[in-house]
């Protein structure tokens, strides 16, 4: 298969927070990979902007170090690194003051695409937006990119939206949820809407339930201060898992265009019922190793923040009435393993007398590791001895099916940044979507906070608390295995 990389138009990209962790770990290595793939025109420029007093040369050296740290040696040929570094410039800027803004304004070229990446604390968004306009850096065709967390509740998300919309049109605002940039997540749309096979079955008549799992083996480690104020609900469910749920449950959009897709996702969020407290399990990991338990990794030894959450959600519409969506995500679990599983109903009547087992087709969309899909089908167990049935996977690993092309799949950030330059908002969250997600999330968090609920504990390396298993057991179902 021949890889088709379509170069984007010439651009100036300013990264506010250009020396920060996200820029070093994800944004710059991602841009370098797109540069290597020939997608980023050599004339394009990336301008780091931060408080540090660096010059262009100093910034290039910083970025060279970041590439060394975050990319394997064979992924950064020297000549390519040198050419990429030449696209970099730097401005020392004072986000809250006036220093550096005129310099930035002079560096920006007319007539090329202009994008500003706000990789800074949300409290600075307003100041940055104001100064971009005040110093004639922002025009009607420029774009801004903002990171999560987009607020910590509905009120703060509304406030952030207002701050940004005071200065930019919604079509200029790109709210990143990096899960939408993952290859398999987009494949979910291709599978649903590019095939006739699945869509007729994709409803309450044929689907028994849906499981969405995002399991991580890492803990909160160095991020305790941030994480303890968020917890799994704010850090993962309100955004990433919500997006997965939307793409799984939404109606077919009329076109693959930003508003058509986002309108359908919004309808799903608005159709979510409030969740009964009995349908939520919150957990905190413990560890026999000193210093590795959740409570030892955050400041507050009595913290009630959850590092794991499992819940049963109802999507109240014609398509999904009565079909539970089970979501779970947590840190320090058995393995890094994320998937969406559509578990279909059993056949209405089994003609095979000897078969007592329950057979269900399951379509699994694997996000990580080993991106791909499998569909388990029921067949006859080989050999004599009657009609015994067995479930086997019809496996499709992207790596196997697509060969080397699959290995060169851009990582989520790379793809999303290129979409910003192309001006394609399909994989970015619209302001009303984010607000609707908070409107559903807020009462749940308020409920457990007011009740003073304490998370239950689970062991590091396990599949989560026993109570989460019970959530499904009591309904005659069980979670899919979390496999290393």
List the structure tokens of 412. Answer: 């989520």
**Do 177 and 148 touch, CB atoms closer than 8 A?**
yes
Q: Which of 240, 349, 359, 473 is catalytic?
A: 240
Q: Pick the binder of ligand BG6 from 228, 235, 433, 435 (CB under 6 A).
A: 235
Q: Give just the sign of the alpha carbon dihedral 451, 160, 427, 180.
A: negative
The residues that bridge with 35 in the sheet, in sequence order, are none
Closest to ligand BG6 by CB, 216 vs 374, is: 216
Q: Which residue is nearest to ligand BG6 (CB)?
A: 235
Alpha-carbon gap, residue 251 to 454, rounded angstroms: 37
Strands 280-286, 456-459: pairing is parallel
Dist CA 240 CA 234 (whole Å): 10
Residue 306 CB, nearest approach to ligand BG6 (Å):
12
Considering the complex, state which of residue 216 and residue 339 has its C-beta at the smaller distance from ligand BG6. Answer: 216
* Surface-to-core class of residue 127, CB atoms within 10 Å of its CB (0-12 exposed, 13-18 middle, 19+ buried): middle
Question: What gap in Å lies between CA 306 and CA 454, rounded to an integer?
Answer: 9
Q: Which is nearer to ligand BG6, 371 or 435 (CB)?
A: 371
Nearest residue to 13 (alpha-carbon basis) of 92, 70, 88: 88
Residues 8 and 143: their CA atoms lie apart, in Å, by: 15
Site for ligand BG6 in 151-180 (CB under 6 A): 178
With residue 451 as reference, give the H or E element that holds it: helix 431-451
Rounded to the nearest whole angstrom, what is the least distance from the CB of residue 216 to ligand BG6 in the complex? 5
- Tell me how far, at minimum, the Cβ of 311 lies from ligand BG6, in Å: 18
The end-to-end CA distance of the chain, in Å, is: 30
| Exposure letters 443-460 (e unless 16+ CB within 10 A, then b) | ebbeebeeeeeebbbbbb
Whether 292 contacts 286, CB under 8 Å: no
Q: Residue 235 or residue 435: which is nearer to ligand BG6 going by CB?
A: 235
HSE at residue 461, side-chain half, CA atoms within 13 A, is 4
- Count CB-CB contacts under 10 A for residue 55: 11
Take residue 28 and report the two structure tokens written for it.
């710059």
Least gap, CB of 315 to ligand BG6 (angstroms): 23
CB of 29 to ligand BG6, least distance (A): 14
**Shortest reach from residue 3's CB to ligand BG6, in Å:** 23
The smaller minimum CB distance to ligand BG6, of residues 157 and 271, is found at: 157
* Shorter beta-carbon distance to ligand BG6: residue 133 or 336: 336
* Minimum gap (Å) between residue 383 Cβ and ligand BG6: 42
Q: Quick check: 434 and 150 in contact, CB under 8 A?
A: yes
Give the number of residues in contact with ligand BG6, rule: CB under 6 A.
3
CB of 412 to ligand BG6, least distance (A): 7
| E-assigned strand segments in 345-472 | 362-368, 372-380, 389-397, 456-459
Question: Given candidates 12, 89, 216, 371, which one binds ligand BG6 under the rule CB under 6 A?
Answer: 216
Helix (H/G/I), strand (E/B), else coil: 169: coil
Which alpha helices (H) appear in 77-148, and where do they start and end? 78-85, 101-107, 125-134
Orientation of helix 183-194 relative to helix 242-249, angle to 10°? 10
Nearer Cβ to ligand BG6, position 50 or 241? 241
**Judging by beta carbons within 10 Å of its beta carbon (0-12, 13-18, 19+), is residue 171 exposed, middle or buried?**
middle
Q: Sketch the per residue contact string, 173 through 212, with ligand BG6: x for CB under 6 A, - otherwise.
A: -----x----------------------------------
Which lies closer to ligand BG6 via its Cβ, residue 167 or residue 178? 178
User: Which 3 state secondary structure label does DSSP give 302?
Assistant: coil
Residues comprising the chain, all counted: 484
Nearer to ligand BG6 among residue 238 and residue 425 (C-beta): 238
Catalytic residue flag (residue 240): yes
Contacts to ligand BG6 by CB under 6 A: 178, 216, 235
Which active-site residues does the annotation give?
240
């Amino acid at each position: 298969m021949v890889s088709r990389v379509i170069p984007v138009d010439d651009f100036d990209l300013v990264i506010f927070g250009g020396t920060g962790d996200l820029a070093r770990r994800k944004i710059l290595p991602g841009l370098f990979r797109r540069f290597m793939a020939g997608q980023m025109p050599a004339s394009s420029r990336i301008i780091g902007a931060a408080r540090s007093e660096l010059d262009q040369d100093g910034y290039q050296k910083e970025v060279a170090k970041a590439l060394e740290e975050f990319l394997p040696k064979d992924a950064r040929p020297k000549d390519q690194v040198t050419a990429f570094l030449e696209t970099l410039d730097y401005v020392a800027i004072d986000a809250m003051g006036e220093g550096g803004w005129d310099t930035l304004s002079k560096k920006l070229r007319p007539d090329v695409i202009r994008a500003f990446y706000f990789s800074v604390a949300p409290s600075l968004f307003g100041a940055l937006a104001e100064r971009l306009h005040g110093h004639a850096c922002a025009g009607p065709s420029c774009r801004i990119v903002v990171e999560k967390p987009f607020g910590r509740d509905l009120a703060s998300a509304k406030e952030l939206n207002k701050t940004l919309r005071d200065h930019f049109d919604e079509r200029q605002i790109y709210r990143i949820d990096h899960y939408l940039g993952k290859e398999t997540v987009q494949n979910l749309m291709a599978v649903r809407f590019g095939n006739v096979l699945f869509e007729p079955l994709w409803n309450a008549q044929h689907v028994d339930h849906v499981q969405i799992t995002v399991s991580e083996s890492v803990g909160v480690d160095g991020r305790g201060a941030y994480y303890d104020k968020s917890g799994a609900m704010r850090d993962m469910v309100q955004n990433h898992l919500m997006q997965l749920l939307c793409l799984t449950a939404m109606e077919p959009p009329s076109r693959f265009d930003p508003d058509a897709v986002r309108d359908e996702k919004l309808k799903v969020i608005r159709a979510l019922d409030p969740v009964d407290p009995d349908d939520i399990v919150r957990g905190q990991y413990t560890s026999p190793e000193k210093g590795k338990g959740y409570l030892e990794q955050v400041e507050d030894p009595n913290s009630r923040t959850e590092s794991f959450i499992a819940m049963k959600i109802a999507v109240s519409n014609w398509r999904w009435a009565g079909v539970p969506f089970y979501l779970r995500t947590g840190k320090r679990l058995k393995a890094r393993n994320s998937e969406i599983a559509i578990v279909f109903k059993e056949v209405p009547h089994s003609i095979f007398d000897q078969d007592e087992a329950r057979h269900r087709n399951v379509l699994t969309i694997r996000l990580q590791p080993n991106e791909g899909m499998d569909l388990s089908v029921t067949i006859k167990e080989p050999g004599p001895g009657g009609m015994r049935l067995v479930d086997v996977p019809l496996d499709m690993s992207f790596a196997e099916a697509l060969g080397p092309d699959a290995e060169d799949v851009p990582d989520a950030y790379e793809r999303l940044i290129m979409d910003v330059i192309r001006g394609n908002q399909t994989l970015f969250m619209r302001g009303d979507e984010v607000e609707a997600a908070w409107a559903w999330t807020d009462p749940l968090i308020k409920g457990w906070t007011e009740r003073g609920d304490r998370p239950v504990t689970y062991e590091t390396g396990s599949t989560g608390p026993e109570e989460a298993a019970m959530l499904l057991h009591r309904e005659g179902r069980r979670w899919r295995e979390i496999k290393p």
